[in-house]
Amino acid sequence: MRFARATTAFLVVAGVLHMAGPARASEPGQCVNYSPLGYCIDWDVPTPGGPPRNGGGGQSTGEVVCYWVTIPDDLSQDPTIWFDFDLTPPPEGVTVVWQSWECSDGSATFAFRWVMPATPANLAALARGQIVGMMPQPAVSSSPPVGTASIVEVPVFVEVTNWTGVITDSACAGGLCVTVTATPQLTFTPAETASSPVTCAGAGTRYDPDGAPIDEQASAEGACAYAYLLRTGVEGRPTEWPGSVSVTWAISWTASTGASGSLPAVTRTTSLPRAVREVQTVVVRGETA
């Protein structure tokens, strides 16, 4: 009886040992390639021909291998792709390559990515995105000051106080660099009936009370000035002329390969409405009153 119980106990112990031994996952080899999430993609198995390691991937083990495969479809055309797969749309003006995650066992996969090839046009679009962030809304100073009515036929001067001048930036990848240049142009649009926009030089014009006569300053080449001719607030006219000041940056790029091109311009506009009053002058005995 005692011998039988001992034999039974032995068999149980032997069974436990068997389960704990050969079924145990073998020690891993050396991982030679990792995914961004820290998963091993390729294992360097130290004993070729030996049993594959438990869970080990990579071609050397003959197990399932997964990889990104370029697909011909432009998934950007599918408006649901961003939401369904938690993807971010690529930057404006960039050409991307779409890839799907596929595994050698042919199982269905549910992962996509887009990657941006390092072409001059793509790098230019990236650099453009960088400098667009440096383009401020125009901060306007004027004479008479903003919010103050001007007088018929007396020039209004306009200046941008946060003028950027020419902006340049570069983007590089894969040994290729692209430099993008943005050149600003200031325009003052009085928006008075029948008026034309004024193309200004540089940051505009500040009126100098100690300088040349006002009309002379206003008529100088590139001056950012305009003399309203029509008073506001009378029948058929608004209480203010809905003027504005715009800065438009023309953008061009040059690659280190010598290639060059242009990119869509960027315009920032600040409104500058202006009420216009008329001053009546009465001449009394040769003096003004």
Q: What is the C-alpha separation between 175 and 287, in angstroms, rounded?
A: 76
Q: Which of 177, 163, 188 is nearest to 241 (CA)?
A: 188
User: Between 6 and 212, whose beta carbon lies closer to another protein?
Assistant: 6
Shortest gap between Cβ of 74 and another protein (angstroms)? 14
User: Between 55 and 261, whose beta carbon lies closer to another protein?
Assistant: 55
Shortest gap between Cβ of 11 and another protein (angstroms)? 10
Shortest gap between Cβ of 76 and another protein (angstroms)? 11
Q: What is the C-alpha separation between 71 and 84, in angstroms, rounded?
A: 18
User: Between 63 and 240, whose beta carbon lies closer to another protein?
Assistant: 63
User: Going by C-beta distance under 8 Å and a sequence separation of 6 or more, which residues neighbour residue 67?
Assistant: 101, 102, 103
User: Between 80 and 280, whose beta carbon lies closer to another protein?
Assistant: 80
Long-range Cβ contact pairs of 100-104 (< 8 A, separation 24 or more): 100/68, 100/69, 100/71, 101/66, 101/67, 101/68, 101/69, 102/66, 102/67, 102/68, 102/69, 103/64, 103/65, 103/66, 103/67, 104/64, 104/65, 104/66
Shortest gap between Cβ of 97 and another protein (angstroms)? 10
Shortest gap between Cβ of 216 and another protein (angstroms)? 47
Shortest gap between Cβ of 103 and another protein (angstroms)? 4
Judged on CB neighbours under 10 Å (0-12, 13-18, 19+), 218 is buried
User: Between 60 and 270, whose beta carbon lies closer to another protein?
Assistant: 60
User: Between 4 and 282, whose beta carbon lies closer to another protein?
Assistant: 4
Shortest gap between Cβ of 134 and another protein (angstroms)? 11
User: Between 92 and 216, whose beta carbon lies closer to another protein?
Assistant: 92
Q: What is the C-alpha separation between 104 and 41, in angstroms, rounded?
A: 13
User: Going by C-beta distance under 8 Å and a sequence separation of 6 or more, which residues neighbour residue 226?
Assistant: 155, 156, 158, 188, 190, 192, 195, 198, 218
User: Between 157 and 253, whose beta carbon lies closer to another protein?
Assistant: 253
Q: Which of 147, 148, 224, 219 is nearest to 185 (CA)?
A: 224
Q: Note the residues at the interface with another protein (CB under 8 A).
A: 3, 6-7, 9-10, 13-14, 16-17, 19-20, 23-25, 28, 30-41, 43, 54-58, 64, 66, 82-91, 101, 103, 105, 107-116, 126, 129-130, 171, 173
Q: Are 257 and 120 in contact (CB under 8 A)?
A: yes
Shortest gap between Cβ of 155 and another protein (angstroms)? 43
